Structure 1
Amino acid sequence: MIWIGLAIVILTFYLIYKNYEARLVLALSGILMAGIGWLAAGSNVTIGTAVDAFVKQLVNGGLVPTIVTVMGFGAVMTYTHCSDHLVNALVRPLTHVPAIVIPGAAIITWLLNIVLPSAAGVAAAVGVLLIPSLIALRVNPVMAAAAVFLGTWGSAISPGLMFNPQVADIAFKAGEISSPDAMIVIFSEALPAACGAVVAAITLAILSHFIKEGVGTADFRPEDAQVDLKNFHINPIMAIIPIVPLFLLVIASKEVGWLPTKTFSVPVCMLIGTALGLIVAILHKQDPGEVSKQFCKGAGDGFNNVVILIAAASLFAAGMKSIGLTGSLIDAMKGSQSVAMASAVLGPFIMAIVCGSGNAAALAFNEAITPHAADFGMTIVQLGAVAQLSAGIGRTISPIAGGLIVLCGIAHVNPMEVVKRTALPCVLALIVVTAGMYFF
């Protein structure tokens, strides 16, 4: 039974790698394993039980409101162009200090990805401004794309990323934390992640120097350098609005405590930001009804692309439990804490490189293994955070990641050439993040 389950898991991730619909593949694999486990081994996890695991995630009160409101808020910021003003406000200073443009581009993208948690979305928003600016400074176009791509894992510490609410919910149900607050997870991983981002950015800057692809090294390509940074009028208020919800979440967290945590939850803060976006739309004579439609569309996309994926991963994890695979993996990890630690890092990291997204692997790991973190001498928050951070970093070495395809289209370069430059910085970032989470 264990070997059958392992074969199904391998086939599942192979199909995801071949770009079959991840939600469908995870759900069908989960039902298949649950059915086999029930019929052949008399498991308590039946097909009905596995489907119940799927449904519970669709109505998860700690998870669903967080994800849909974040995605809705992001759609409103795009529609009102507040995100454009924030991007321009951060990008413009780089053009005045050429020496820091490469690490600066990576760090700015990383920070913006916290506010705008879609990797492909932030790649498009930042890349269309930064890549032409870097090319105008005679940075090699491949290095320009690499600098922006390197920052597209900043969403790892965003309250809108699916994993942070998921890990918080698991930890809350296990009694490890007092509330299913994603900010508890984020605060535990923020410093290691920030250190990893800085190490990666500096490494890329050093690499650009040694391979002579930094500022002033490339031929000027005027056709690619048409960017209107100087003439874009930045509205400071519009630039600030996208970061208001994040600021409120930080000051309302238990670690800071300036505002009541229970009152200023993620959905509340996102709705406050959305209300500010509505005011901006009215002042700029945009249709308030369209703002509402954009919020609903973003929320719907969040439910469709994120919540249902989490639900499918829960069904998949229930199937693994039914066929006995989860128990075997836990028993193997109990024998060695180092095995559990390595699995959380390398599994999602490798799958993200191969698939262009580590979501499926990290979600499945968190559903099946992370709840048993105490058996390995770790906390749920610690183990779950490492799994999702590894997935985010791994995606930044994948030649088929959606954000990379967007950037390569802007820079007119080959994806494989870009990931050759992000590989070393990402590996070093993974080492720093892992050490920070496990040992400090």
Structure 2
Amino acid sequence: MTELLIGLVITIAVGYYIVKGYKAAGVLLVAGILLLILAGFLGHTVLPKGITSTGNLLTDSLEYVKYMLQYRNGGLGLQIMLLCGFATYMTHIGANNVVVKQFSKPLSFIKSPYVLLVAAYIVACLMSLAVSSATGLGVLLMATLFPMMTAMGISRPAAAAVCASPAAIILSPTSGDVIVAAEKSGLPLHVFAVETVLPVSICAIIVMSVAAFFWNKYLDKKNNTPMEKLDISEIEVKAPAYYAILPFLPIVGVFLFNGETIPGLTLDIYTIVVLSIVIGAVVDFLTSRFNGKETLENLEACYAGMGDAFKGVVMLLVAAGVFAQGLMSIGAIDNLLALADKAGAGGVALMLLLTALTVAAAIATGSGNAPFYAFVELAPQLAVKLGLSPAFLIIPMLQASNLGRTISPVSGVIVATSGMAQISPFEVVKRTVVPVLCGLVTVIIGTMILVPMYA
């Protein structure tokens, strides 16, 4: 329990200093390195499997920082930088203004920005079927839907929360955690994912949409949050109307090429964004009547946006990753598992306990997958002891891990969306917490109604 107490104290300290205005990246990095060093002193393994130890626990903590820099820059970090660069480029050449102008006309009859917010949230949830990564989807939505939402009068925190939330509830029947959950539940994938999880997910999304409507409206009024709705007549548009399609090229590309829509041709999100930038540059070149110098100068905005993304977003993700590894290395997650194993509770009480522990671990680590993969191993064993159906325990845990990540100020999706929106991660979490709690209650009730408790 000592390790759990240390993790809790340091996590509270991290929240305190970030709220006090300290730079989040620095606070998380210092806390993560401290946790890794303490883990080494307590006899725990500092580095995860696959990373060779330096032979010293102090330098092992720095070795993990190096690993995270390499991992984030080559993977998710590159995706974020590309999408931020693309978004900056679209703004620079005037494509985003064209989108706002074009979409403002048919949507002008909707007077409430909160109705638009709900519509945007549902569209974002459908996008999660195509993009499995929560952070990747959040960044994609920030680069495409966020400018349009804020221009339509949705406040920046509310718009960022919409971009951060769609992966909170699982819709895709083929995501990795759903496949693992189905296996541990002992059910065929189609029965588990489509007949059991999907109805619960749809109900949760509906409830979260309603909660988001009222909660964001309440917070905007309470905090007198600036609404940035633009007067259509005041929007300066220099680019031609066909530029309106350019900001949505990554979304179109995801549906066309990130799968088997076109047989024999599959592109990942990185290549899709690069292709989108190239198409944008070609269109800009043709529109400027083959003015190559101007086209290349416009592309400089893309490179500048990528650099800003590294400074403002990627380094936050690196720091958050180090902090999460510190919590796991020191044994905080193992202690939570031990608590669940010792609980001599009935079926409903055990389900609630496992769900609560999963949410707590997801909030603390900022990861949805790590707590779920750790806890799901325990669920079948506990179910057998009490004669329960494993699915009754696993389904709420599956959804709780993703919901918990959405209210974690150190999760990748919250860090990325808040960084791109240039607001505090806590401001985004404040917007997501009530809809997430409503979604969690819906998941628990839905499980109790639709899933048999006993095997």
Q: TM (normalized to structure 1)?
A: 0.62
1:8 aligns with 2:21: no
Q: Pick one of 249, 252, 256 that aligns with 1:247.
A: 252
Whole-Å separation in 2 of the counterparts to 1:170 and 1:204: 26
Matching residue of 1:86 = 99
**1:127-167: CA deviation from partner (whole Å, max 9, x where unpaired):** 66423xxxxxxxxxxxx75xx754433323789x9xxxxxx
Deviations for 1:285-335, whole angstroms, at most 9, x for unmatched residues?
Answer: 382223332222222233333332222223223322443323212323455
Say if 2:101 and 2:235, in contact at 8 Å, map to a contact too: no
| Aligned mate of 1:29, from 7, 28, 31 | 31
Cα separation, 2, equivalents of 1:7 and 1:423: 22
- Aligned in 2, Cα 1:237/1:346: closer, same or farther, shift over 3 Å? farther
Find the aligned partners of 2:99 and 2:124 in 1 and give their Cα distance.
Answer: 8
User: Aligned AA for 1:89?
Assistant: Q
Work out the number of aligned pairs and report it: 360
Is 1:125 paired with 2:127? no
* Structure 1 stretch displaced more, 382-391 or 55-64: 382-391
Matched, 1:266 2:258: no
Q: In the alignment, what sits opposite 2:108?
A: 95
Structure 1 residue 404 displacement after superposition: 9.4
Aligned residue for 1:179? none
What letter corresponds to residue 64 of structure 2 in structure 1?
A: A
The correspondence of residues 29-428 of structure 1 with structure 2, limited to 5 A, is 29-39=31-41, 41-45=42-46, 46-60=57-71, 61-98=74-111, 102-108=114-120, 111=123, 117=139, 125-126=147-148, 129-131=151-153, 145=155, 150-156=158-164, 199=207, 202=210, 226-228=231-233, 235-254=240-259, 257-260=261-264, 263-285=266-288, 287-334=294-341, 336-345=350-359, 361=364, 363=366, 365-366=367-368, 369-377=371-379, 378=394, 384-391=401-408, 428=438
Unaligned runs of 5+ residues in structure 2 are: 47-56, 128-136, 169-174, 184-193, 222-228, 343-349, 380-393, 412-417
Decide whether aligned partners of structure 1 residues 386 and 437 sit closer, same or farther in structure 2, where only a CA change above 3 A counts.
Answer: farther
Distance across 2 between alignment mates of 1:372 and 1:119: 30
State the alpha-carbon separation in 1 of the partners of residues 263 and 401 from structure 2. 27
User: Is the contact made by 2:359 and 2:401 (CA closer than 8 Å) also made in structure 1?
Assistant: no
C-alpha distance after superposition, 1:13-41 (max 9, x if no partner): 221222211221122112222223323x2
Partner letter of residue 103 of structure 2?
L
Instruction: Sort the Cα spacing of 1:264 and 1:80 in 2 relative to 1 into closer, same or farther, 3 A.
Output: same
1:341: Cα distance to partner?
2.5
| Residue deviations 1:388-427 (CA, integer Å, cap 9, x gap) | 33459x9xxxxxx789998xxxxxxxx9xxx89x986665
Match of 2:188 in 1: none
Q: Distance in 2 between matches of 1:295 and 1:63?
A: 18
What CA distance in whole angstroms lies between the structure 2 residues aligned with 1:200 and 1:122? 22
Residues 338 and 318 (structure 1), Cα distance of their counterparts in 2 relative to 1, 3 Å cut: same
Change (3 A) 1:110 1:22: farther
User: By how many angstroms is 1:270 displaced?
Assistant: 0.3
**1:157–1:102 distance in 2 versus 1, CA, 3 Å:** closer
Q: Specify whether residues 436 and 229 from structure 1 end up closer, same or farther in structure 2 by C-alpha distance, changes over 3 A only.
A: farther
Q: How much does 1:191 deviate?
A: 9.9
Q: What is the identity, as a one-letter code, of the residue corresponding to 1:96?
A: F
SS at 2:160's partner residue? coil
User: For residues 347 and 375 of structure 1, do their structure 2 counterparts lie closer, same or farther at Cα, with a shift above 3 Å needed?
Assistant: closer
Note if contact 2:86-2:273 (Cα within 8 Å) is conserved in structure 1. Answer: yes
Counterpart amino acid of 1:243? Answer: F
**Is contact 2:113–2:152 with CA below 8 Å preserved after alignment?**
no
TM-superposed CA distance for 1:269, in Å, is: 0.4
CA change 1:303–1:101 in 2 (3 A) is closer
Q: Which residue of 2 aligns with 1:17?
A: 19
The 3 A distance-change label for structure 1 pair 156 and 327 is same
Percentage of matched positions with identical amino acids: 19
Q: Give the counterpart letter for 2:58 in structure 1.
A: I
**CA 1:437 to 1:149, structure 2 compared with 1: closer, same or farther past 3 Å?**
farther
**Distance (Å, rounded) in 1 between the aligned partners of 2:122 and 2:158:** 8
- C-alpha change, 1:79 and 1:253, in structure 2 (3 Å) is same
- The amino acid that maps onto 1:42 is G
C-alpha contact 1:386 1:437 (8 A) present in aligned 2? no
Partners of 1:345 and 1:434 within 8 A in 2: no
1:33–1:319 CA contact under 8 A, matched in 2: yes
Q: CA RMSD in A?
A: 5.1
| 1:73-100, Cα deviation, whole Å (9 max, x unpaired) | 22222222222222333332122355x7
1:165 corresponds to? none
Q: TM-score, normalized by length of structure 2?
A: 0.60
CA contact (8 A) 2:94 2:238 kept: no
- Structure 1 residues 207 and 55: CA distance shift in structure 2, 3 A: closer
1:103 is aligned with what amino acid? V
